[in-house]
A and B are shown apart, each in its own frame.
Chain A
Amino acid sequence: MTATTEINKIISKENLVYGKTSVLLDNEMHYCPGCTHGVIHKVIAEVIDEMGIQDKTIGVSPVGCSVLAYNYIDIDWQQAAHGRAPALATATSRLMPGKYVFTYQGDGDLASIGCAEIIHACNRGENIVVFFVNNAIYGMTGGQMAPTTLEGQVTATTPYGRDCKVTGFPMKITEMIAMLPGTRFVTRQSAETPGAVRKLKKAAQKAFENTRENKGLSFIEIVGTCSSGWKLSPVKSNEWMKENMFAYYPLGTLKDE
């Protein structure tokens, strides 16, 4: 048997072990090559599919590169003003009990302009899930400094590296959130290796289960990359992230009650 015929025999429906979930639409994603947003979208879609909650899930997309998330995950969506996703999610979950409501927000959206919104939603313990995508930069607008940008990190607005004497310190939002009594599950994950993707999926599933049980707010930070903003290749971005981001933003679960 030649190699090609052997491969053709393997490639058949009954041998399928991994493919695109139907909760993910066929639209081509507008994200740059290697962008972590794509992996996170996929994980959320797979969990929605596996939990059978497609018709009960409502996402709130942010302002930022993921503003168009509603083009990719086949559920009901709202799109919030910059930083205001927690307010829309609050109203939606209170008015529609039984729905699985989540926000999907970048670090500029959540930690900068939307900082007050998220802290109060967490403090109120709204019955929602928050996906907080920390790529240490404003990706969409061309790579400006975010509150999460690391000390010394070069961005469009910190061309000589972030100087904490001038701009303050990189903000550990997730640690702050974990202190609030309104939050039940607070975790920091990543998505750069198969193992990390599996862990993120478990965390997302747990978060939606918390919603089902009316447990309150689950907060998942995902440390990710922005190769365009960081001016590195996708592979080099992951290396830079592991070396620098993980040291300041350590992975793991901070709270699980």
Chain B
Amino acid sequence: MAKFKGAIVVDTEKCKGCGLCVVACPTKVIELARDVNGKGYHYAHMANADACIGCSSCGLVCPDTVITVYRVKAS
């Protein structure tokens, strides 16, 4: 089991749906929503939240810096 459990918060109204975070995530947590935000972009969201290890990879590559990452030690 992973040593850490993580979670991300995406500022969905500012997300541009570029998909770079989807590719960067090593555990395939993120997908682009079927829904669109106010700008018409398919925003990123945690589709597979249980798999998040809080590694921050998604946050680092996001050009619009709209991802916040949290992490705790797995119990």
Contacts and interface: CB of A to CB of B under 8 A. Distances in A.
Most chain A beta carbons < 10 A, residue from B9, B65, B71: B65
A141 interface: no
Contact of A31 (B9, B23, B55, B63): B63
A16 B70 contact: yes
A115 interface: no
A52 interface: no
A195 to B, nearest CB: 9
Interface string A19-42: 110001000110111111111001
Interface residues of A, number: 36
Interface string B39-74: 001000010011000111101111111111111100
Contacts of A192: 20, 61
A253 interface: no
A238 B68 contact: no
A34 B20 contact: yes
A188 B62 CA distance: 21
Contacts of A10: 5-7, 54, 70-72
B1 to A, nearest CB: 14
A17 interface: yes
B68 to A, nearest CB: 4
Given A10-B72, A15-B71, A18-B56, A29 B19 contact: no
Nearest to A196: B61
Contact of A12 (B16, B23, B70): B70
A34 B68 contact: no
A20 B65 contact: yes
A3 B50 contact: yes
A64 interface: no
Interface in B8-52: 9, 14, 16-20, 22-24, 41, 46, 49-50
B20 to A, nearest CB: 6
Contact of A29 (B5, B55, B63): B63
Given A3-B49, A39-B63, A33 B72 contact: no
A232 B61 CA distance: 18
Closest 4 CB pairs of A and B: A38-B63, A34-B18, A33-B16, A33-B18
Interface of A: 3, 6-7, 9-12, 15-20, 24, 28-29, 31-39, 42, 191-194, 197-198, 233-235, 238
Given A18-B60, A33-B63, 18 more contacts: A3-B50, A6-B5, A10-B54, A11-B9, A15-B70, A17-B56, A17-B69, A18-B69, A34-B16, A34-B18, A34-B19, A38-B62, A38-B64, A39-B62, A42-B65, A192-B61, A233-B19, A234-B20
